[in-house]
Amino acid sequence: MKSASPRAVRARGIVKCFGEVVALDGVELEVEPGRIHGLAGPNGAGKTTLLGLLLGLAVADSGTLEIFGTPVGRALAAPDGVTGFVDGPGLYPSLTARKNLAALAALRGRDARSAGIDEALAEVGLTDVADDRVRGFSLGMRQRLGLAAAMLTKPRLLVLDEPSNGLDPAGKRHVHGVLSRLAADGTAVVVSSHRMDDLEELCSEVTILSTGRVVFSGPLTKLAAETGELDYRLVTSDAEAARQVAAGTPGITVADETTWLVVRAGVPALDELVVRLVGAGVAIRELAPVVSPLEAAFLAITDQQEPNR
């Protein structure tokens, strides 16, 4: 019988302190190969510290950390097959994009001609600026070059801190596509971001940290189910008829707007509302959360106040 492949990351009871500050307090984390796992949390929650442990930039004070089944030792070194960046990629501003990647390849003992530099630049959409000096790059271009540098190593585990930082919509879509393709090929990806829409679009699972502790870890579907009632923007062909149907649906709270409704409901009540609207001949043109389930859960779990609409 074939044994199951080890998890890309398995952390148990991780504690990390900086003086009297407890950055991580008994953190548990599991990441499977071929998955994109999101990390969320307010500033100071411990996200950067956790990423640093995965990259070998720091070691835990206690607890165990395994990367692909191999225990991480006490030495400051990136485990085999792990790459990425924290607080932005480290680049040489006076060198071109191509020469930055060639320098990285040389540090790893690889010949620039066979390192796949052109392929990596093409993958992140930087072919046209491959011979431009990095000092003139925008923040988003630097982020994409950092991703290209990480891809040169053919990582089994890719760890990224705010990879969409500074990207325009087209650049973000490009980077999301790259990460999704890497995951489809079996790479485990851990992404930290303050942008809930990025995490919802990219990740199948998320871990939320608050004051160094894990307050949720699991599939986004489970998080959405645990969020409870949400406010939804409902646009229909007949706002008044929709209001009457919604008012008569158990579990629905209605707030009138000018040409649409805002309804507060849990998932079962929302499903029933949709059935009733269709039965009443009211066309549904838009039904979407005012605040995404992940953002709503994040705000609730971390005891932050939801901003006014």
Specify whether 174 is located in the same domain as 245: no
Is 306 part of a structural domain of the chain?
A: no
Is 160 part of a structural domain of the chain?
A: yes
pLDDT of residue 305: 37
Is 199 part of a structural domain of the chain?
A: yes
CATH number where 173 lies: 3.40.50.300
Is 169 part of a structural domain of the chain?
A: yes
pLDDT of residue 291: 76
Specify whether 187 is located in the same domain as 257: no
- Give the predicted TM-score (pTM) of the model: 0.79
Of 161, 188, 219, which residue constitutes the final position of a domain?
219
Q: Which residue range is the domain that position 269 belongs to?
A: 228-301
pLDDT of residue 3: 47
Specify whether 192 is located in the same domain as 77: yes
Is 122 part of a structural domain of the chain?
A: yes
Is 189 part of a structural domain of the chain?
A: yes
pLDDT of residue 281: 95
Specify whether 238 is located in the same domain as 189: no
Q: Are strands 9-18 and 62-67 parallel, antiparallel or unpaired?
A: antiparallel
pLDDT of residue 1: 42
Specify whether 187 is located in the same domain as 47: yes
Specify whether 35 is located in the same domain as 157: yes
Q: Coil, strand or helix: which one is 62?
A: strand
pLDDT of residue 76: 64
Report how many domains make up the chain. 2
CATH number where 260 lies: 3.30.70.250
Is 106 part of a structural domain of the chain?
A: yes
Of 219, 246, 275, which residue constitutes the final position of a domain?
219
Specify whether 213 is located in the same domain as 249: no
Question: How big is the CA angle at 208 (ends 202 and 209), to the nearest 5 degrees?
Answer: 140
Which amino acid makes up residue 12? R
Specify whether 236 is located in the same domain as 296: yes
pLDDT of residue 75: 66
Long-range contacts formed by 300-307: CB under 8 A, 24+ apart: 300/227, 301/208, 301/210, 301/215, 301/216, 302/41, 302/42, 302/45, 302/208, 302/210, 302/215, 303/210, 304/42
Per-residue pLDDT of the chain (309 residues; tens, 9 = 90+): 444 678 899 999 999 999 999 999 999 999 999 999 999 988 888 999 999 999 988 899 999 999 998 888 776 666 778 988 887 788 889 999 999 999 888 877 776 666 789 889 998 889 999 999 999 999 889 988 999 988 888 889 999 998 888 888 888 888 898 999 999 999 999 999 888 888 888 898 999 998 999 988 988 777 766 666 778 889 999 988 998 999 999 888 887 666 788 888 888 899 999 999 999 999 999 998 887 777 777 777 666 534 443
pLDDT of residue 44: 87
pLDDT of residue 21: 93
Which amino acid makes up residue 261? L
Is the CB of residue 20 less than 8 Å from the CB of residue 40? no
pLDDT of residue 136: 92
Question: CA-CA distance, 134 to 174, in Å (whole number)?
Answer: 20
pLDDT of residue 256: 67
Give the number of other CB atoms < 10 A from CB of residue 168. 11
pLDDT of residue 234: 92
pLDDT of residue 53: 93
Specify whether 188 is located in the same domain as 208: yes
Specify whether 188 is located in the same domain as 236: no
Of 180, 197, 219, which residue constitutes the final position of a domain?
219
Specify whether 193 is located in the same domain as 237: no
Specify whether 181 is located in the same domain as 289: no
Is 307 part of a structural domain of the chain?
A: no
